[in-house]
């Protein structure tokens, strides 16, 4: 009888610290026939972002990029075909650099970051590019999908779960203290904060100009966000229709619009960033994703943040800056109420949010992260920040970051 084969021992490995090196985005456009990107391909938006990241960081040899993950919610047409790989090739990365696509609806880019960040921590990658794109003008949310009839026939979800605006109305029902007037006030403040940040030059660092063309208008350059409405007042918002419910509370003014745009960022192991001379804008601390009732998907960031805090041993009092995706005002307000944060807390979305700038679904997570990184650079007194968002079909995602420039001034 032969001796049993020896048991193979696994190689022990220590987890590495992961850093967010830099992030950029295209200006966001309106998803309408006359919008900025009506005649621009979705994959070309991603290509422009990747090229800009490499242009800004010549210290990063392209062959050192180990992976590219790009998210899109509607993975067909010009944002299909394993867009992480195709965009990498189109951007001029070596053909040895692999890539893949991710779909977690609104949190696609966020998931691209946490997925690649986990791989970097484990040692599978040294440097990676994560991002997302959504061309809602070419591909409206839900285009080409075929939901299983069992969802409704077996009453697994309410029919409202598939209409994001209706889920926001449901959230108002659940939290009656969040009135339409309060949501409108939050929305007007978002517009005002974005306008102030733009005037101060704070937004420009995030943007990569995009060459565009129009059959009617010829060639041009997209260099500014299209959705913002500076000067929006609460009285302006009060007059808007409530399309999802008669006498409802959700309007086009207190929700993010339908938008086109792309985002991207460089992630690296901290020791590799030091080796290559790459900046360290943020350090990944931890994250959490959860599922919630699809009918009230906007509540998702509450339990996902609780999970992220639990996973990291932190408390909400440790968070000095919040970048919360404003899919709907009610969704952010529900988060603030749960954690005892006031509507006008200066730590929350200092430059406004998606109600002003737009929400091209799968791309938005990296916009939140890029803005948090800019805040960290200007706020060495803040140690921890949070990026969080609700996710369609009933989920939430939250990522906690640490400021490498922290000087001991506050949490």
The reply to whether 265 belongs to the active site is no
Residue 238, judged by CB atoms within 10 A of its CB (0-12, 13-18, 19+), counts as middle
DSSP assignment string, 85-104: HHHHHHTT--TT--EEEE-B
Report residue 167 as tokens: 């889920």
CA 399, 353, 179, 166 dihedral sign is: negative
Name which of 289, 296, 320, 298 is nearest 398 in CA terms.
289
Question: Long-range CB contacts (< 8 A, 24+ apart) of 209-218?
Answer: 209/27, 210/26, 210/27, 210/36, 210/37, 210/40, 210/44, 210/45, 210/48, 212/36, 212/37, 212/39, 212/40, 213/39, 213/40, 214/38, 214/39, 215/39
The reply to whether 359 belongs to the active site is yes
Q: Which of 138, 139, 172, 359 is flagged as catalytic?
A: 359
Q: Which of 106, 135, 138, 375 is flagged as catalytic?
A: 106
- The b/e string for 89-109 (b: 16+ C-beta within 10 A; e otherwise) is ebbebeeebebbbbebbbbbb
Report residue 191 as tokens: 């517009």
The residues, ordered by sequence, that sit 6+ positions from 67 with a Cβ below 8 Å of its Cβ are: 84, 97, 98, 99, 100, 116, 119, 125, 128, 129
Backbone torsions φ then ψ of 13, nearest 5 degrees: -145, 140
The residues assigned a catalytic role are 106, 359, 390
């Amino acid at each position: 009888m032969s001796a049993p084969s020896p048991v193979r021992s696994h190689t022990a490995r220590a987890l590495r610290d992961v850093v967010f090196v830099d992030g950029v985005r295209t200006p966001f456009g309106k998803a309408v026939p006359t919008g900025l990107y009506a005649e621009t391909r979705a994959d070309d938006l991603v290509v422009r972002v990747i090229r800009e990241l490499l242009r800004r960081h010549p210290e990063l040899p392209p062959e050192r990029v180990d992976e590219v993950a790009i998210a899109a919610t509607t993975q067909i047409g010009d944002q299909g075909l394993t867009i992480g790989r195709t965009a990498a090739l189109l951007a001029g990365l070596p053909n040895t650099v692999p890539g893949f696509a991710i779909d977690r609806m609104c949190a696609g880019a966020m998931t691209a970051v946490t997925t690649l960040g986990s791989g970097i921590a484990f040692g599978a990658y040294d440097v990676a590019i994560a991002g997302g794109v959504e061309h809602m003008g070419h591909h409206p949310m839900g285009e080409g999908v075929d939901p299983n009839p069992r969802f409704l026939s077996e009453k697994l979800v309410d029919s409202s779960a598939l209409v994001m605006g209706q889920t926001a109305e449901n959230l108002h029902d659940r939290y009656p203290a969040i009135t339409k007037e309060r949501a409108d006030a939050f929305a007007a403040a978002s517009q005002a904060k974005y306008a102030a940040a733009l005037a101060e030059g704070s937004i420009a660092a995030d943007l990569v100009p995009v060459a565009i063309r129009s059959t009617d208008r010829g060639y041009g350059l997209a260099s500014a966000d299209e959705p913002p409405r500076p000067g929006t007042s609460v009285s302006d918002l009060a007059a808007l229709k409530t399309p999802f419910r008669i006498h409802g509370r959700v309007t086009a003014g207190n929700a993010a619009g339908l938008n086109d745009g792309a985002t991207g960022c460089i992630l690296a192991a901290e020791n590799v960033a030091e080796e290559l001379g790459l900046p360290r804008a943020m350090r990944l601390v931890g994250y959490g994703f959860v599922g919630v009732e699809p009918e009230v998907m906007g509540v998702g960031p509450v339990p996902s943040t609780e999970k992220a805090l639990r996973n990291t041993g932190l408390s909400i009092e440790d968070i000095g800056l919040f970048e919360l995706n404003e899919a709907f005002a009610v969704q952010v307000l529900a988060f603030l109420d749960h954690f005892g944060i006031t509507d006008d807390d200066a730590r929350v979305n200092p430059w406004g949010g998606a109600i002003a700038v737009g929400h091209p679904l799968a791309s938005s997570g990296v916009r939140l992260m890029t803005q948090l990184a800019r805040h960290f650079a200007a706020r060495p007194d803040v140690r921890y920040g949070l990026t969080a968002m609700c996710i369609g079909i009933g989920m939430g995602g939250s990522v906690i970051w640490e400021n490498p420039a922290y000087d001991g001034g506050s949490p």
